[in-house]
Structure 1
Amino acid sequence: MGGKRASNGNGAGVTDRSAAPLDDPLPGPLDEGWEPVATVAPWTRVLAPLLSAWGWLTNQLAAERERWVLWIPVGFGFGAVGYFWLPAEPPWWSGLAAVVGASVLLAGLRRWLAGVVVALGLLVVAGGFLTAQGHAMLVAAPVLARDIPSATITGRVMAVERRPGAVRLTLRDPTVSRLKPEETPAALRIRVSDKHPPPPPGALVRLRGSVSPPQPPAEPGAFDFQRRAYFMGLGGVGFSVGAAEVIDAPPVTGWSRVTVVFEQLRGYIAERVARTIDDPVEASVTTALLNGEQFAIPDPTMESFRNSGLAHLLSISGLHVGIAAGILFYVVRALLAAVPYVALRWPVKKIAAVFGILSALAYTLLVGAPLPTVRSVLMTGLIMGAVVLDRDPLSMRLVAFAGIVTAAMDPEGMLGPSFQMSFAAVVALIAAFEGGGPMAAWKRDLGWFGKALLYVGGIVLTSVIATLATLPFSLFHFQQIAFYGVLSNMIAIPVTSFWVMPWSLIAYALLPFGLEAPAVIAMNWGDRVVIGTATFFGGLPWASLTVPAMPAGGFAAVILGGIWLCVWTRRWRWWGLVAVLGGLATPALVDRPDVIVSGDGKVAAVRSASGRLSLSSKTEGRTAETWLQRDGEPQPADPWPQAGLSADGRLTCDALGCLYHAAGRRIALLRLPDALDEDCGAAEVVIAVFPARGCRAPLVIDRWRLRREGAHALYVETGGIRVESVRDGRGDRPWTGRR
């Protein structure tokens, strides 16, 4: 060998390759001092990064094992939502079979940790699915299948909702003159003019009116009131043509009696407030904060609250329940501590916590137990219970428990904005302040001025976090952004917390004696500040912005990303921001329909050259308002011409109907059957509000198809015309009226 030899210190020689000539052959395996070098297989080079990433991921999961339990309500909710996403009703045994199968799998994999985690996750998801399916079967009741234009309706008044110009009654166990008993819904919601005095809750009434099935979505993907009504037990809605006549009948008994008592109390509160406060707007807001009824608030005032980001103050939620329980907790604690004998011998703090629980429960029953309030009273009870047991009262696990219980009580409510926004705000705030130990230390060392600044900073930070947390849900459900929400909440929340709610508790205490007027007046002073704040910020330029509806996929990305961000505590939590930002960008990437027609065919809309919707009627109903809201446009384009050509040249109308032109495609929207002969041979799509049998067009959407499939949305694309219907998105479910 031409290379030099060197010693490695142990007497063994090592070849110095740097000293060998370039043409010197490589040493063979038999050469002295040579050790073979292991070669790396190509597949190992490929798998090495994957194995490294898997190891890093498992290490992160192991480090966060204390947070695993927080994913239980997520899986439970995923299973419940999965039930509602199905295009057809599953067999009655499917949920039970899924739970049993997951349980067997869990038992079989109990010795393998990864298998236990996977099986437990499947069991939680199956439990959510079974809960939603079981709830749907428990609330099953007849739903009206057709309109009944005139009938005599008798029923027990279980709820009275006061609205501008009308009163809405919920009748339980009704009878309808033109319906068989087996076809009669369990409950009806009837609108009665406020010209007639409303009947008292619990009374048996008879009235003459018309009833209809609950309205399906205004367009594919829109809010499904029909589904919500099904789970509320409402099988029909309608109106009365006269006053409701009270019939002599035995009083209600059982749990219904409790419901009636609290309904009567809500009515009594509304009456006392109306007698005390002359201004109807201020009276309606004060009433909403006392008994949870915000239906009487005028639309302009509600619009101001929405535009200013203060609408949550009118919806009784965690803020109100927490304040009410907290005030009573501190008052009872202070009163007991003021008595030396009691303070030295009794557990004052724990007694005050019990009173806090009772106050939260009473307040929830008083305001009608809406879903956010149920969540809030659960969390308040857990917090006060932790005080009684000397435990940490603030924990993400409290939210997880409340989420599971609330979702189990009302699985369909998880799909609504009330549930989602309430939990989003609470979860985000707890996640943000979980590491707030240093702030507590700073507060102890600060003077009164520093504490005041810290309090103001806390309000600002809390408002920012809550606003950002609820923003995606506002975009998805309401297509609206309130730009001044942080500023308006900085004023309204302290006023509500330190003035309005304390006086409301005093008013509650004085109501039984008829002495509540001074407290209600004082409370109303704070309400004036809140109303003025909403009016000021809601009226500013760019107070709010409407955007196109967010698609379901983008919304799911936002939710999963937000959960990932809030549940984990290590750096990888920030991965969730990628999903959140991606989901928030999806409204700009989704095409809106070029043509929309309602389920009854009475109203239609086409997209003008400017990109805005043009309505077939100048009179905008709720359906058209929903279209414009989901389109991100506050106002429509010019309405359809009665005859002739529209300003953009896309729509040609005459007495028989209209012809819409876009991207070389033609869609006929017919008013009279006389137009069938001509337009069925000239248009790719024919939309008619009457039966169109024998029409030769490639696609016909007539009266029967609209009744069967609901509202239709048409998209004019390069390759043709894409059609979506309400039925395509909902399928055939118990609440759609087709089994």
Structure 2
Amino acid sequence: MAGDTPAHNAFLFGLAARVQAAAAAFAAAALAERERWPLWLPVAIGTGIGLYFALPVEPGPLAGVLPVPAALAGLVLAWRRHRLGPILAAALALALTLGFAAAALRTAWVAAPVLERSGAAWLTARVVEIERLPDQGRRVTFDRVALERDDLGPTPARIRLRLRPGGPEIAVGDRLRLRALLNPPAAPALPGGFDFARFCWFKQFGATGTALSPPEPVEAAAAPGSLTVAVNDLRQRITARIVAVLSGDRGAVTAALITGDQMPISAPLMQAYRDSGLAHILSISGLHISLAAGLVFVGLRTLLALIPPLALRHPIKKWAAALAIAAAWGYTLLAGSPVPAERSLLMIVLVLAAVLLDRAVLSMRPVALAAALLLLLQPEELTGASFQMSFAAVVALIALAEAWAPHQAAWRAAHPGPLAAAGLYLVGISLTTLTAGMVTAAYAIYHFNRFALWAVAANLIAIPLTGFWVMPWALALALLLPFGLEAVALVPMGWGVELVNRVAVAVAAWPEAAIATPPLPLAGLVVFTLGGCWLCLWRGRWRRWGLAAMGLALLTMAWPAPPDLLVDGHAAAFALRTADGSLLLNGKGGGILRDSWSRRAGPPADEPWPEDGLSRDSRLSCTPAGCRWRPDGRTVALILDDSDIAAACAEAAIVVSRVPLRHACRGPATVIDRFDLWRGGTHALWLRPDGVEVLSVAASQGNRPWRHQPARRRRNP
């Protein structure tokens, strides 16, 4: 061929040689770290789960399970041939298919009836969980539901209702009758937003709503029918005893640290904790579980060591480890078993079990095993902020400890004394906070579009205060509660909690404490996660390539453009892009929707929606019948009633209508009417130079079991 010149051939041969050398170097580096290969098991399982949730249609449990035997057979065949490459490929395929199958089976296992349409109804149900709210109201979870109305669809297995302040006292296990406004679980506020309907599917919440009448007792609580009901009843009783001693936010935060119930905390203080980077203190996780287990282990072992006959003749270290496991398990149950607490419990059990068996434990392996078990048992947690941020922080901190431990030991040996130890402790808090904050920042940006700038300063004060004062009194509280002496521990514990609250409020008030960020695309989050795994799970110099991947992932925030127009599924709420790039909202649709739109689509404009007149940039003009928006020479018509349909269709290139149009609007290229919004939910529109791009919530959700399928109202015969 004409292109086959000697120089061309030499270039190709040289390129092939470099690729071969790079592949050989990669294989050698991977082989040198073969003891780290098992750490990639949860990554592969999580990838399979992620592929399942990314599907646009539901594959079904059988289709999800069938690939597992094939992958297992491939692994057995590769093992018999004793070839490392095929064995690794087959093991990877098996982990992927296991994750996919776990997600498909879990979806089918938790399937429960979901309400088809909204409506008010009388119902009778059993109280499963009670959460106190800052306004003295309560959020109650019910099961064993009986609806006194049959036109709303199938009766849900579980519902969650908000009860108004006041009313009779209720307890977990009570059977109540009340009238409530029930709604199917809400769809995302915009395409790609948080999918509350999917969250409810895996919690088996078939409806949510608000009580319209005070609850009427039907049957008092009997003996708990399940461990969950018993634990929830205990949590409710302990929370009530805490807030009886400590009032206001001091009691609410104390209750959150003991029982995991954050609902009573006031909204301003909760926001201060988020903006200061201290929200992790309120979420019972590794910090709390490890402190509780550590205090029990060290304290009990110290007490037993003071009794020479026991210390010399019996394995007091193993006794302390066993009781520390029991304490950690009980604390996790009392906290409601959130994902970070479950992860910490599994890790602590593995570490203390090694003490019982006189074995050493590698730090990263318990994390990998805990992640793999949680993903196989609760695969839906992969998509949640709690799982992602918890494991990202722990993996990063262990990787930091592995790299820093030799230097720390050498420095400590060269600088003895309590002052040096205190300085090293403060440096450790700074490094761990900075590391955890940097790693979890991407997940905070993806889920919340916010980044806490002064988290290191806040944690330097709050973490020692929590570890050395608050949590020891929490352990004392657990010992004193059965004797009715909780006030002895709660009062000094409340002093520490109040100081932490003040730190959160003070730091949150600093300039730019919480920075609003553009949304991070899902692809960017995936690349960031894989890059972080590469950086933390390997030990060689090639791990540094993970930093490049993480940096590139953060740059993807500049890629996606926010939508130019948003319309909710009821055609009540509108938002559009102004000339200065802000988002002009008409103020309808509720606070959650407005907050979601503002965080995901851009900062809100500092002007009201013109109900009858022009916007500040003169691109939007409105009348009671509808609005005309002219952003780039095109006209977008927002029809509010049926009095202006003909004129709007004649002049507009895009029509969005609150009323059904059917075939009455044939001119525009893009028409979205009441039926489209009813079927598809919130619609997002991007005005491109070559046309308009439209994406609905229904299209982004796909045809999945948790997607709400609107049902026509039944006509009475």
Q: TM-score interval w.r.t. the shorter chain?
A: over 0.9
Structure 1: how far apart are the matches of 2:107 and 2:229?
25
Aligned twin of 2:584: 614
Can you list the C-alpha shifts for 1:478-528, whole angstroms capped at 9, x where unaligned? 100111000000000000001000001111111111111021010011001
Deviation at 1:41, TM superposition (A): 7.0
2:52 partner amino acid: Y
Q: Does 1:158 align with 2:113?
A: no
Structure 1 residue 42, shift from structure 2 partner: 6.9
* Alpha-carbon separation, structure 2, partners of 1:55 and 1:103: 28
**Alpha-carbon distance in structure 2 between the residues aligned to 1:216 and 1:265:** 33
Alpha carbons of structure 1 residues 181 and 616: separation in structure 2 relative to 1, 3 Å: closer
> Taking structure 1 as reference, are residues 698 and 157 closer, same or farther at Cα in structure 2, changes over 3 Å only?
same
Distance 2:519 2:14 in 1: 46
Does 1:502 find its partner at 2:472? yes
Following the alignment from structure 2 to structure 1, what is the Cα–Cα distance between the partners of residues 528 and 482? 48
Partner residue of 2:661 out of 692, 699, 716: 692
Tell me how far apart the structure 1 counterparts of residues 634 and 299 of structure 2 sit (CA, whole Å): 71
Which residue matches 1:356?
A: 324
Query: Does structure 1 residue 383 correspond to structure 2 residue 351?
Result: yes
Residue 67 (structure 1) aligned with residue 21 (structure 2): no
Q: 2: CA distance between counterparts of 1:666 and 1:196?
A: 53
Alignment of 1:366-405 (within 5 A): 366-405=334-373
Match of 2:646? Answer: 677
Shift of 1:441: 4.4
CA distance in 1, matches of 2:99, 2:243: 44
Kept after mapping to 2: 8 A contact 1:500/1:526: yes
Change (3 A) 1:204 1:328: same
- Cα distance, 1:629 vs structure 2: 1.4
- Which of 52, 58, 61 is the equivalent residue of 2:21? 52
Give the equivalent residue in structure 1 for 2:624: 655
Q: Partners of 2:649 and 2:556 in 1: how far apart?
A: 37
Which runs of 5 or more structure 2 residues have no equivalent in the other structure?
1-7, 711-717
Deviation for aligned residue 1:616: 1.2
Q: What CA distance in whole angstroms lies between the structure 2 residues aligned with 1:606 and 1:649?
A: 13
Alpha-carbon offset, residue 639 of structure 1: 2.3
C-alpha contact (below 8 Å) 1:157/1:171 kept by paired residues: yes
> Are residue 323 (structure 1) and residue 294 (structure 2) matched?
no
Q: Deviations over 1:198-229 (max 9, x none)?
A: 41100111101110001100001100000000
Aligned partner of 1:221 in structure 2 is: 192
Aligned letter for 1:189? Answer: R
Root-mean-square deviation (Å)? 1.8
Aligned to 1:605: 575
- Rounded Cα–Cα distance in structure 2 between residues aligned with 1:486 and 1:405: 32
- State the Cα deviation string for residues 399-445 of structure 1 (Å, max 9, x = none): 00000111122111110100010001100000111131342344345
Q: TM-score, normalised by structure 1?
A: 0.92
Change (3 A) 1:655 1:65: same
Match of 1:465 in 2: 435
Question: What SS does the aligned partner of 2:638 have?
Answer: strand
Alignment of 1:162-561 (within 5 A): 162-165=132-135, 166-179=137-150, 183-248=154-219, 251=222, 253-254=224-225, 256=226, 258-278=227-247, 280-435=248-403, 436-445=405-414, 446-561=416-531
Task: Give the Å deviation of 1:252.
Answer: 5.3
Give the partner amino acid of 1:475: I
Distance 1:44 1:251, change over 3 A: same
What SS class does the counterpart of residue 700 from structure 1 fall into? strand
Identity of aligned residues (%): 41
Preserved CA contact (<8 Å) 2:127 2:171: yes
**TM-score normalised over the length of structure 2:** 0.94
Q: Does 1:143 align with 2:111?
A: no
- The residue aligned with 2:93 is 122
Deviations along 1:265-288, one digit per CA (max 9) or x if unpaired, are 22222222222123x111111111
Cα distance in 2 for partners of 1:571, 1:644 equals 64
Match of 1:643 among 612, 618, 622: 612
Shift of 1:711: 0.8
Q: Aligned partner of 1:201: which letter?
A: V
Alignment correspondent of 2:561: 591
Secondary structure (helix, strand or coil) at the match of 2:181 reads strand
1:146-182 deviation digits (Å, cap 9, x = unpaired): 112x211111100001112221111102011113798
- The answer on whether the counterparts of 2:46 and 2:375 sit within 8 Å (CA) in structure 1 is yes
Instruction: Compute the displacement of 1:686 (Å).
Output: 1.2
Structure 1 CA distance, aligned partners of 2:528 and 2:547?
9
Tell me, in whole angstroms, the C-alpha distance in 1 between the residues paired with 2:300 and 2:687: 66
The answer to whether the 8 Å contact 2:181/2:211 transfers is yes
Corresponding residue of 1:570: 540
Asked whether the equivalents of residues 546 and 632 of structure 1 are also in contact (C-alpha less than 8 Å), the reply is no
Q: How far does residue 388 in structure 1 lie from its aligned partner after superposition? A: 1.6
SS of match in other structure, 1:384:
helix
1:547 and 1:630 in contact (8 A); partners too: no
- Give the letter for the 2:516 counterpart: T
Q: In the alignment, is the contact (CA less than 8 A) between 1:167 and 1:198 conserved in 2?
A: no
Structure 1 residues 534-553: Cα deviation after superposition (integer angstroms, max 9, x where no partner): 01000111111101211111
- After superposition, the C-alpha distances for 1:553-589 in whole angstroms (9 at most, x for unaligned) are 1111111111111111111111111111111122222
2:188 touches 2:195 (CA, 8 Å); kept in 1?
Answer: yes
2: CA distance between counterparts of 1:619 and 1:413?
A: 29
**Matched length:** 696
* Residue 9 (structure 1) aligns with: none
CA contact (8 A) 1:479 1:632 kept: no
Output the CA distance in 2 between the equivalents of 1:168 and 1:214: 15
What CA distance in whole angstroms lies between the structure 2 residues aligned with 1:632 and 1:511? 49
The SS at the match of 1:179 is: coil
Could you tell me whether the CA contact under 8 Å between 2:568 and 2:589 is conserved in 1?
Answer: no
Q: CA separation in 2, counterparts of 1:484 and 1:332?
A: 37
Q: Which amino acid aligns with 1:554?
A: G
State how far apart, in whole Å, the 1-side matches of 2:331 and 2:324 are: 11
SS at match of 1:206: strand
Q: Is the 8 A contact 1:218 1:599 kept in 2?
A: no
1:264 Cα shift?
A: 2.0
Instruction: Say if 1:190 and 1:238, in contact at 8 Å, map to a contact too.
Output: yes
Query: Could you tell me how far apart the structure 2 residues matched to 1:121 and 1:234 are?
Result: 35
Residues of 2 paired with 1:538 and 1:470: CA distance?
18
SS in 1 for 2:289: helix
* Contact 1:277-1:283 within 8 A present in 2 as well: yes
Alignment partners' CA distance in 2, 1:130 and 1:413? 15
The question of whether the paired residues in 1 share the 8 Å contact of 2:114 and 2:153 is answered with no
- The Cα shift of 1:690 comes to 2.0
Q: Structure 1 residue 618: deviation in Å?
A: 6.9
Cα distance, 1:85 vs structure 2 = 0.7
List, as ranges, runs of 4+ consecutive aligned residues in structure 1 with deviation greater than 6 Å.
39-42
